Amino acid sequence: MSGTATTTRERIVDAAVRMTSDVGWSQVTMAKLADRAGVSRQTVYNELGTKSGLAEAMILRELERFLVVVEAAFDDHPADIVEAIRAASRTVLEHAQDNHLLHAVVSATHGADTELLPLLTTHAESLLVVAKSVIVGRTVPYGLTLDERRLDAAIDMVVRVVLSHVMQPSAPPADTADDIAWIAHRVLA
């Protein structure tokens, strides 16, 4: 999102996130969403297509917000990839604790069904592709000696472990980030 101007699509997605957090995904209809976003129902369909398209747009928009903190962690640790991974993991996990949409999806609050959950778990291809591509781009300056296949496997492992802990935390973010950094160090050494 650039500047302060908000596109119609962004307004609709923002309204959908608020509705999902407030009343649950099962209560989000294109008509209710259009009303809340201040647009016609046809505009919602034109901008996002189906309800599945809306769900994916919401998840990818939240992913974009998480990737901003990942980028910052790599910027803050330009000479140490393990520290960059530790900082990125910790910050992502901390942000996940306070993310209302994520909580609504994971816990199926407000009587919501689990329609959104597969977008973060079994059908997370889009999410994984985007996250992994950002990380791949950020590893170049570190001069890692892994071949492309092994580097891809290492990045995939880190992204999936972080996502797993986003979905079901097992320890405080700092502790989990330390564990992820330890694994990354062993793999990338």
Tell me: the pLDDT tens digits for 52-73? 888 888 888 888 888 999 999 9
Chain centroid to Cα 114, Å, comes to 17
User: CA 116 to CA 15: how far, in whole Å?
Assistant: 16
Q: What percent of the chain has pLDDT above 90?
A: 57
Using only the alpha carbons of the chain, give its radius of gyration.
18
User: CA 156 to CA 71: how far, in whole Å?
Assistant: 17
Average pLDDT over residues 172-182: 97
Average pLDDT over residues 152-177: 93
| pTM assigned to the model | 0.79
Write the pLDDT tens digit of every residue in 72-118. Answer: 999 999 999 999 999 999 999 999 998 877 776 665 544 445 566 55
| Cβ 37 vs Cβ 19: under 8 Å | no
Q: Of residues 138 and 59, which shows the higher confidence score?
A: 138
Crossing angle of helices 148-167 and 125-139, in 10° steps, is 130
Assign 2 a pLDDT band (cuts: 50, 70, 90). Answer: very low
| Cβ 15 vs Cβ 36: under 8 Å | yes
Q: What percent of the chain has pLDDT above 70?
A: 85
